[in-house]
Chain A
Amino acid sequence: DIQMTQSPSTLSASVGDRVTITCRASQSISRWLAWYQQKPGGAPKFLIYKASTLENGVPLRFSGSGSGTEFTLTISSLQPDDFATYFCQQYNSYPLTFGGGTKVEIK
């Protein structure tokens, strides 16, 4: 199974900050990586696929990059609505696996 490791597990930031979350795969997954946002009590929301392609309607302050084993999700200017937990997911091979999550909290 491909292990996905996210860092940090928690990130404290202020509105307007630039934040970066890292996701590492235990083996190469090319660019078969997606990102999701989850708020308390809700289902995950799809943000990005193929490492860097934004889903329709996702604000442009979100961006993704990387390939192979190292990937990043960047929020260029954190907004109040962005305080949430973020997960990466590889879809290179079965079983599909997720990172452990990064909680972005208010500093």
Chain B
Amino acid sequence: QVQLVQSGAEVTKPGASVKVSCKASGHTFTGYYIHWVRQAPGQGLEWLGLVNTGTGATEYAQKFQGRVTMTRDTSISTAYMELIRLGSDDTAIYYCARTITTPGYLFFDYWGQGSLVAVSS
């Protein structure tokens, strides 16, 4: 069965960076995009961007350009999201989720369990 298993919670300080991992199993890793979506406490869902697991190409939301880097390691079917220069408003649960790469199919059929990133001085 398809699974996306994320790394654990991180507590960090303002100005620091964080790197979250997402290990995929149960499907052909390079056949899907892996996206990152975050949810601040009690808030809605916000898309950060995606990595094309086949080519490594990325697409980022403009809000996060220059602060986020999404990568993947195909040898271990794992995608990564690094966010730098963290502020308190980056405190959120960060989810990875997959979509098919075909235009018209950019909806998230499987999600990771979420990784809490807490930024506090």
A106 to B3 alpha-carbon distance, docked (Å): 32
Q: How many residues of B contact A (CB 8 A)?
A: 23
Among A11-19, A20-28, A76-84, A97-105, the stretch in contact with B: A97-105
Contact-residue size bin, chain A (C-beta under 8 Å from the other chain): 20 to 34
Interchain nearest-CB distance for A22 vs B (Å): 16
- Cβ–Cβ contact B111 & A43, under 8 A: yes
Q: Which of B7-15, B23-31, B44-52, B74-82 contacts A (4 or more CB under 8 A)?
A: B44-52
Q: Is the CB of A97 within 8 A of B47?
A: yes
Interface of A is mostly: loop
Instruction: State whether the Cβ of A34 lies closer than 8 Å to any Cβ in chain B.
Output: yes
Q: Are A44 and B107 in contact (CB under 8 A)?
A: no
Count A-B contacts at CB 8 Å. 53
Q: Is B114 within 8 A of A43, CB to CB?
A: yes
Is A62 an interface position by the 8 A CB rule?
Answer: no
**In the complex, what residue of chain B is closest to A55 when comparing beta carbons?**
B109
Known: A98-B44, A98-B45, A99-B44. A34 touches B61 (CB 8 A): no
Please give, as numbers and ranges, the residues of chain B lying within 8 Å of A94 by CB-CB distance.
Answer: 59, 61
Q: Can you identify 27 A-B contacts, CB atoms within 8 angstroms?
A: A32-B104, A34-B107, A34-B108, A43-B111, A43-B112, A44-B95, A44-B108, A44-B111, A45-B111, A46-B108, A46-B109, A46-B111, A49-B105, A89-B107, A89-B108, A91-B99, A91-B104, A91-B107, A94-B59, A94-B61, A95-B61, A97-B47, A98-B44, A98-B45, A98-B47, A99-B44, A101-B45
Q: 12 more A-B contacts (CB under 8 A) besides A50-B104, A96-B35?
A: A43-B95, A43-B111, A44-B45, A46-B110, A49-B107, A55-B109, A91-B107, A96-B47, A97-B47, A98-B44, A98-B45, A101-B45
Chain B residues in the interface with A (C-beta under 8 A): 35, 44-47, 59, 61-63, 95, 97, 99, 104-114
